[in-house]
């Protein structure tokens, strides 16, 4: 079961490290990362496996949001089914 984390905001040092540290702490396995920096903007999409998450997924969503707020980034964690249902028939 996968979820997708998107991170958008001004580029700064250690963004990937902060997000991946929180994933490791919660027991989420990073499956794939794609990131790009355009001028000063940073955009990352991370696919994570949440099968062995050590906390409820809703709590993980909140924690990632907190990471985003403390770093002035827009971090969204969403179950991948929402994207699959919208873009795959």
| DSSP-assigned states of every residue in 20-71 | HHHHHHHTPEEEEEEEEEETTEEEEEEEEE-TT-SS-HHHHHHHHHHHHHHT
Does residue 79 belong to the site contacting another protein (CB under 8 A)? yes
Could you tell me the smallest distance in angstroms from the CB atom of residue 25 to another protein? 19
Could you tell me the smallest distance in angstroms from the CB atom of residue 51 to another protein? 14
Query: Using CB under 8 A, which of 13, 34, 39, 72 touches another protein?
Result: 34
In which residue are the tokens 């000063």 written? Answer: 40
Which residues are at the interface with another protein (CB under 8 A)?
Answer: 2, 4, 6, 31-32, 34, 43, 45, 47, 57-58, 61-62, 74, 76-88
């Amino acid at each position: 079961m996968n979820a997708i984390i998107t991170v958008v905001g001004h580029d700064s040092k250690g963004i990937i490290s902060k997000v991946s540290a929180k994933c490791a702490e919660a027991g989420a396995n990073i499956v794939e990362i794609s990131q790009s920096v355009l001028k000063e903007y940073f955009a990352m999409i991370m696919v994570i496996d949440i099968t062995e998450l050590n906390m409820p997924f809703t709590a993980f969503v909140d924690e990632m949001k907190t990471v985003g707020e403390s770093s002035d980034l827009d971090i969204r964690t969403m179950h991948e089914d929402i994207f699959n249902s919208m873009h795959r028939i």
